[in-house]
Amino acid sequence: MKILITGGAGFIGSHLAGSLLGDGHQVMILDDLSTGRHSNIRYLDDGQNVEFILGSILNEALVDDAVRRADVVFHLAAAVGVSLIVQRPLESLATNIRGSEVVLDKCHKYGRKVLVTSTSEIYGKNTSEGLGEEDDRILGSPLKTRWSYSEAKAIEEVLAYAYWREKGLPTVIVRLFNTVGPRQVGHYGMVIPRLVEQALLNLPLTVYGDGQQKRSFCHVRDVVRGLVELVSSPGAEGQVFNLGSRDEISILDLANRIVALANSSSEIQLIPYESAYEVGFEDMRRRRPDTSKVERVTGWNPQANLDEILTDVIADVSERLPE
Ligand code: UDP
């Protein structure tokens, strides 16, 4: 098949492209390289089965042409990363709302199945033991910039769902929880590449708040397998799925684990949220998915544990760091 990946030069998109190529598909990558990087996809380029289209999902003519030529669409292009959202909210809203509207509209025009990647930020401050797809969203004030990402992605979900209900467009919505692995960069906030880089440079590890907030990290390889399995499952159409790991760790414990695995002499430094982000910044204390739905529909379960993830990231960041 010919598969279009919007945001295909990003961290997750580039891993997805590699996996689909390995399965014998042709891949079109549409990316404006705002946070995606050409180096992420350079290694894919055999000139035969990969087509790279430089441009934004806000460019209707470009999206129209790409969707027309595709059999299936994975919509991953988005403004992501807490730091980026807090620094550039307007641009992030335009990409995440208007851009998704363009992609869904074109998928409808040409009748193309589309998998839309949403986010665990949807749940906001809901700290349930295991967040289920039907659980409530608990958000702070819209004037706290962080929540604008959750709002934008919720609108994207509503759009995708409405296209399925009202127009019969086959859509699948996937809420990605913290996804990590090689090629992820720390510039936009992501904690693991940031802490690994600090550890390898023997700099203090910047743990925000009291470090007791918890996250569940999933290897990008497992996430990509889940995306491919979901798009291939007829039972997934018109549905929303959590995709992520259920293994939880506090950020302080994570930092200690990274120091140990990287053989680092770094210390750990606690940094108040208002210095790290902005005054009044709200974090989630916890965010752990219930993934029984994806398991029921596709049999998916993550395979890589945290140490395997960290070992892969340490190797990747070591290669990228200057001597
Ligand atoms: N975090 C941290 N130090 C950093 C970057 C992030 O302690 O240098 C914390 C952040 O405040 C959050 C957790 O790590 O509690 C995960 O952050 P990330 O931005 O990776 O993901 P998200 O907040 O979207 O779960």
- DSSP per residue over 150-203, as a string? HHHHHHHHHHHHHHHHHH---EEEEEE--EE-TT--STT--HHHHHHHHHHTTP
Among protein residues, the one with the nearest Cα to ligand 1's atom 17 is 191
Interaxial angle between packed helices 100-110 and 60-68, expressed in degrees from 0 to 180 and rounded to the nearest 10: 40
Measuring from atom 6 of ligand 1, which residue has the nearest CA? 191
For ligand 1, say whether the CB of 78 is within 6 Å of any of its atoms.
no
Centre of ligand 1 from the C-alpha of residue 153, in Å: 19
- Decide if pLDDT at 20 tops 80: yes
- In this structure, the residue with its CA closest to atom 20 of ligand 1 is 190
Any atom of ligand 1 within 6 Å of the Cβ of 251: yes
Q: Is the CB of 215 under 6 A from ligand 1?
A: yes
Q: Whose CA is nearest to atom 11 of ligand 1?
A: 208
Q: How far is the CA of 271 from the centre of ligand 1 (A)?
A: 12
- CB of 200 within 8 A of CB of 238? no
> Tell me, what DSSP letter sits at residue 192?
H
**Other beta carbons within 10 Å of 260:** 12
pLDDT at position 323 is 64
- Give the position, in ligand 1's atom list, of the atom nearest the Cα of 194: 8
Ligand 1 contact via 120 beta carbon (within 6 Å): no
Report the SS3 class of residue 74: strand
The mean pLDDT of the chain is 94
More confident residue, 277 or 1: 1
Stretch 171-186: mean pLDDT: 96
Kindly report the pTM of this predicted structure.
0.96
How far apart CA 190 and CA 202 sit, in angstroms, is 19
Please tell me if the CB atom of residue 237 comes closer than 6 angstroms to any atom of ligand 1. Answer: no
Given pLDDT bands bounded at 50, 70 and 90, which one contains residue 205? very high
- The predicted pLDDT at position 276 comes to 85
Tokens of 205: 């590890």
Compute, in angstroms, the gap from residue 84 CA to the centroid of ligand 1: 13
The residue nearest atom 21 of ligand 1, judged by CA position, is 190
Write the DSSP assignment of 28-73 as a string of letters: EEEE--SS--HHHHHTT--SSSEEEEE--TT-HHHHHHHHHT-SEE
Q: Is the CB of 190 under 6 A from ligand 1?
A: yes
Q: Longest C-alpha distance within the chain, in Å? A: 58
Residues catalogued as catalytic: 149
**Could you read off the pLDDT of 217-272 as tens digits, one per residue?**
999 999 999 999 999 999 999 999 999 999 999 999 999 999 999 999 999 999 99
- Pocket probe mutation, ligand 1, options 92, 251, 310, max atoms within 8 Å of Cβ: 251
Q: Cβ contacts of residue 194 below 8 Å, gap of 6+?
A: 186, 206
How many of the other CB atoms lie within 10 Å of CB of 98? Answer: 12
Average pLDDT of span 130-147: 92
Which atom of ligand 1 approaches the CA of 189 most closely?
A: 19
Give 32-84 pLDDT, tens digit per residue. Answer: 999 899 999 988 866 789 999 999 999 999 999 999 999 999 999 998 877 78
d(CA 144, CA 127) in angstroms, rounded, equals 19
CA distance 309 to 99: 32
Amino acid at 79: A
